[in-house]
Amino acid sequence: MKRIALLDILRGFAIIGTLGTNIWIFAYLGDLNLVFGNALEPWWSSGDRLLQTIMLILVNGKFLGMLTLLFGAGMELKRQKAVREGYTWPGVYIWSCALLLLDGLLHYILVMEYDVLMSYAITGMIVSLIIHRSRRFILVMMWLAGSIHVIGVTGITALLAFESGAALNGMDTITQLYAAGTWWEQVMFRLNHFGFFRAESIAIIPLNVFLFLLGAMFMRTGVFSNDESGRLKRRKLMIAGLGIGIPLNLLLLIPGGIMDLWVRYISAPVLTLGYLGIIAYGMEKGIFDRLFQRFGEIGKMALSCYILQNIIASILFYGWGLRFGGRPSSLYILLIWAGICLLLMIFSHLWLRFYPLGPVEWLWRKLSISPVSKVTSRDTSI
């Protein structure tokens, strides 16, 4: 099957964009109070805080939403392939999800406590049992998952509003560990606090289910198609996503971080649709064509680049590495983010000149042939 260039480019933007959020967590040594909802330093208190807030308005949750949506689109492509080739769905796709769960677990233990791959793996298993059903059934499941998510996040936001200035406990312990602890001590800390750090991955499953199914429906209805119908649909998404998403995401400016959770998990996915339309429009018009090609190369090696960018950030900021973490300026953090992005572009460009797949993707291809499907040897990579 011929690759869809737009999907690779969108995936590349999504990988870089998720780092745009995670880089602050690395830089502040895991102290979420310094990243989200810091009531002691409102956004107007300094130019440094304003720059951080602007960056979070632009990236926080938006590209994670895009990555989630693209997972759903990729699943639909594999379902269509299963139909064409006449094998059972979900079949070996469950095996792929199991591999993703293992990959995410290793990434969580060895690299970063806020890994999203485990959540995607569980979501993939759930959605794979829905995606082959009727359009009506899919829409009902989307409505159900979306309603559960919105009600839950809105309820938590309302509770936070009654505790203005509330902060997460235990952040000092985490920052001390990442400032001075060894890599192995950090590994053991993640293992010992598995439930605490994995709570978000479980909580966002309803949102993931909704976005997976939305991505699948977009693929099914031709949103990603390279024709006039696809372009028209993407323009409508761009207008609606920006028109509704921008005002909703400006709620991040409300003092005290009261709306931070609501913005990240409800407002952000709306703006994601606007970003999808803008990126697609830029590709169609050939704007920054070479730059878009580099993003497409990152997208082809998305899993490798996602893991690599977190390893690089760990080395740069943590105590066992170069010790850049703590309270660096926002400009300094953004420069490091830009530097990592450039490294990923160079790495993916050079790698793909010699190999058709990224290193993790190559290993994934080898392992994704499940014990029960080796006879057919079909590609089941995610």
Q: In this model, does residue 100 exceed pLDDT 80?
A: yes
Rg (alpha carbons) of the chain, rounded to whole number: 20
* Rounded Cα distance, 322 and 355, in Å: 31
- Give residue-wise pLDDT tens across range 296-310: 999 999 999 999 999
Model confidence at 75, pLDDT cuts 50, 70, 90, reads very high
Confidence class for position 105, pLDDT limits 50, 70, 90: very high
pLDDT in tens, 308-352: 999 999 999 999 999 999 889 999 999 999 999 999 999 999 999
| Domain locations in the chain as residue ranges | 5-367
Instruction: Using a cut of 0.85, tell me whether the model's pTM lies above it.
Output: yes
User: Which pLDDT value is given to residue 381?
Assistant: 42
Q: At what angle do helices 93-110 and 62-85 cross, to 10 degrees?
A: 150
Segment 237-242 shows an average pLDDT of: 96
Q: What is the mean pLDDT of the segment spanning 251-268? A: 88
Residue percentage of the chain with pLDDT more than 70: 93
CB 377 within 8 A of CB 365: no
pLDDT tens for 45-58 read 889 989 998 999 99
Provide the pLDDT confidence category of residue 376 given band limits of 50, 70 and 90: very low
The pair of three-digit structure tokens given for residue 136, joined into one six-digit string: 């009506």
Q: Kindly report the average pLDDT of the chain as a whole number.
A: 90
CA dihedral 337, 342, 348, 351 (to 10 degrees): -130
pLDDT at 382: 47
Give the integer Cα–Cα distance in Å for 357 and 365: 9
Report the C-alpha gap between 197 and 201 in whole angstroms. 8
Greatest alpha-carbon span in the chain: 64
Q: What Å distances lie between residue 10 and 47, 110, 278, 295, CA to CA?
A: 31, 27, 10, 8
What is the tens place of the pLDDT at every residue in 260-293?
889 999 999 999 999 999 999 999 988 889 999 9
The pLDDT of residue 278:
96
Residues 6+ apart with CB under 8 A from 69: 211, 212, 214, 215, 218, 272, 276
Q: Please tell me the predicted confidence (pLDDT) of residue 42.
A: 79
The pLDDT score that the predictor gives to residue 45 is 84
Does pLDDT of 380 surpass 90?
no
Q: Characterise 2 by phi-psi region: left (phi > 0), alpha (psi -120 to 50), beta (else).
A: beta
272 or 86, which is more confident: 272
Question: Sign of the CA dihedral 128, 129, 132, 133?
Answer: negative
pLDDT at position 172, please? 86
CA 286, 288, 357: angle at the middle one, nearest 5? Answer: 90
Is 80 exceeded by the pLDDT of residue 2? Answer: no
Confidence tier at 164 by pLDDT (50, 70, 90):
low
Hey, what long-range contacts does 343-349 have (CB within 8 A, 24 or more apart)?
343/312, 344/15, 344/16, 344/298, 344/305, 344/308, 344/309, 345/294, 345/295, 345/297, 345/298, 347/305, 347/308, 348/294, 348/297, 348/298, 348/300, 348/301, 348/304, 348/305, 349/294, 349/297
Burial class (CB in 10 A: 0-12, 13-18, 19+), 59: buried
Question: What integer pLDDT is reported at residue 322 of this predicted model?
Answer: 95
pLDDT digits (tens, 9 = 90+) for 192-207: 999 999 998 999 999 9
pLDDT the model gives residue 162: 75
Q: What one-character-per-residue DSSP string does 221-242 give?
A: TTTT-SSHHHHHHHHHHHHHHH
